[in-house]
């Protein structure tokens, strides 16, 4: 056992004979700690410039004329230091009123978190009202009308119980939410924080650990959905379609497409007439234009080829380079050979490939990616 103060073995710091008397960090007196102190705080104004009271008062006048809040606060602090803190907020405001200086110390009631409090110029804490510096006596913001002093007498009366926001200097326990100690030394039963940030693993999705600590094998989120290998997409996969690796967009189960889903995917209604048993491209009813959405202007009632609006090239995808803004005729990239059976939606003969058949409703001409059947650019 070694003392943390004198570094000598054989005793602890609380029993050290060389340890100086305990000094309160709040009032500066000996014999107690800040958390038990009930005396006014000893305010340290060493950071404030040393100027005469007259110079500080003239600076307050100039700041009020220029309506500079920062200069006004600085000048008030300099004046308070010049008079050794022998003035209250009420006396200061009355002096400002008597000399016609347009600076107002407005006291309003605000809710503060536990570790903050209002302190007056003499160091008394737990004041009810919070001081704010203004250049008008009346509220100039509608949301402040409710808490604003209704009269000058009420304003001066509130200043007797007002102060500026300061830190209490006392720790807050995150376990019991009480002041005076930290959770490490809390005597109450430990509680689980409902607002604590949960750690989730990006690899396995479980809570309680990060990817670096995950015991499961690393999963490539960007791997091919068909063969499971990295380096390419399902649309570019050279392997035969593998339904076992397909995730249904309806039930989120593996092994089938949404169009074959046993929970309703196989029973599809025509998007033209609304009847079941066929899809829109096989419908014998007249085309219902109210169900058609233009891919160019995204309005209903017409196809993109009939759209009166200028062509939106940002929605046009090149079938060669897969980028938007141009067609393959204007593509500057050398032609790319298409993989059999894995074309891009809207490309070629309209056969979107197995990876997109689910998304477009199995060839239904009213799907989002292939709206309007043969409606092309």
Enclosing domain of residue 142: 53-167
Q: Where are the alpha helices (DSSP H) in the chain?
A: 53-66, 69-82, 89-98, 152-159, 354-357
Q: For residue range 31-41, list pLDDT tens digits in order.
A: 888 878 888 99
Half-sphere exposure of 332 (CA within 13 A, CB side): 2
**42 inside domain:** no
**156 inside domain:** yes
pLDDT number for residue 355: 37
**375 inside domain:** yes
Please name the residue that has the structure tokens 């199995």: 362
**349 inside domain:** yes
Q: How many domains does the chain have?
A: 2
**218 inside domain:** no
In the chain, % helix, strand, coil (3-state, to 5) comes to 25, 10, 65
Q: With cut-offs at 50, 70 and 90, classify the pLDDT of residue 264.
A: low
**121 inside domain:** yes
Q: For residue range 139-172, list pLDDT tens digits in order.
A: 988 889 999 999 999 999 999 999 999 998 888 9
pTM of the full predicted structure? 0.50
Q: For residue range 307-339, list pLDDT tens digits in order.
A: 998 888 888 888 888 888 888 888 988 887 654
**15 inside domain:** no
pLDDT number for residue 151: 94
pLDDT number for residue 253: 81
| Conformation bin of residue 31: beta by default, left when phi > 0, alpha when psi is -120 to 50 | left
The DSSP secondary-structure symbol of 148 reads S
Which of these three, 119, 138, 167, is where a domain ends?
167
Which of these three, 121, 149, 167, is where a domain ends?
167
Buried b (16+ CB within 10 A) or exposed e, 263-298: eebeebebbbbeeeeebbbebeeeeeeebbbbbbbe
88 within 8 A of 120, measured Cβ to Cβ: yes
Buried b (16+ CB within 10 A) or exposed e, 171-186: ebbebeeeeebebeeb
**Number of helices (H) and strands (E), helices first, in the chain?**
5, 4
Which of these three, 167, 192, 210, is where a domain ends?
167
**7 inside domain:** no
State mean pLDDT over 254-277.
72
Q: Give the residue from 97, 98, 77 showing the smallest Cα distance to 87.
A: 77
Whether the per-residue pLDDT at 361 is higher than 60: the answer is: no
């Amino acid at each position: 056992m070694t003392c943390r103060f004198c570094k000598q073995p054989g005793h602890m710091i609380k029993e050290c004979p060389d340890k100086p008397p305990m000094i309160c960090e709040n009032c500066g007196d000996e014999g107690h700690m800040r958390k038990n102190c009930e005396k006014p705080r000893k305010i340290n104004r060493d950071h404030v410039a040393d100027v005469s009271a007259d110079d500080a008062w003239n600076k307050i006048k100039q700041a009020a004329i220029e309506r500079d809040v920062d200069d006004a606060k600085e000048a008030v602090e300099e004046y308070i230091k010049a008079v050794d803190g022998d003035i209250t907020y009420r006396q200061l405001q009355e002096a400002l009123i008597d000399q016609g200086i347009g600076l107002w110390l407005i006291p309003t009631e605000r809710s503060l978190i536990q570790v903050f409090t209002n302190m007056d110029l003499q160091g008394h804490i737990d004041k009810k009202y919070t001081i704010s510096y203004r250049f008008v006596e009346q509220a100039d913001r509608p949301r402040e009308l409710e808490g604003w002093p209704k009269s000058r007498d009420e304003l001066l009366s509130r200043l007797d119980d007002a102060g500026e926001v300061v830190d209490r200097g006392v720790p807050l326990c995150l376990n019991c939410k009480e002041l005076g100690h930290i959770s490490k030394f809390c005597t109450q039963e430990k509680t689980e924080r409902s607002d604590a940030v949960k750690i989730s693993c990006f690899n396995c999705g479980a809570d309680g650990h990060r990817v670096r600590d995950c015991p499961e094998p690393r999963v490539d989120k960007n791997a091919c959905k068909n063969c499971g290998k990295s380096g390419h997409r399902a649309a570019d996969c050279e392997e035969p379609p593998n339904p076992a690796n397909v995730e249904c967009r309806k039930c989120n189960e593996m092994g089938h497409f949404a169009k074959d889903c046993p929970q309703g995917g196989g029973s599809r209604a025509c998007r033209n007439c609304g009847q079941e048993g066929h899809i829109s491209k096989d419908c014998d009813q007249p085309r219902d234009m109210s169900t058609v959405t233009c891919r160019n202007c995204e309005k209903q009632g017409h196809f993109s080829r009939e759209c009166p609006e200028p062509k939106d090239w940002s929605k046009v995808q090149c079938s060669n380079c897969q980028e938007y803004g141009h067609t393959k005729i204007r593509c500057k990239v050398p032609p790319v050979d298409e993989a059999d059976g894995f074309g891009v939606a809207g490309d070629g003969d309209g056969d979107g490939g197995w990876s997109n058949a689910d998304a477009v409703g199995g060839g239904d001409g009213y799907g989002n990616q292939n709206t309007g059947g043969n409606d092309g650019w």
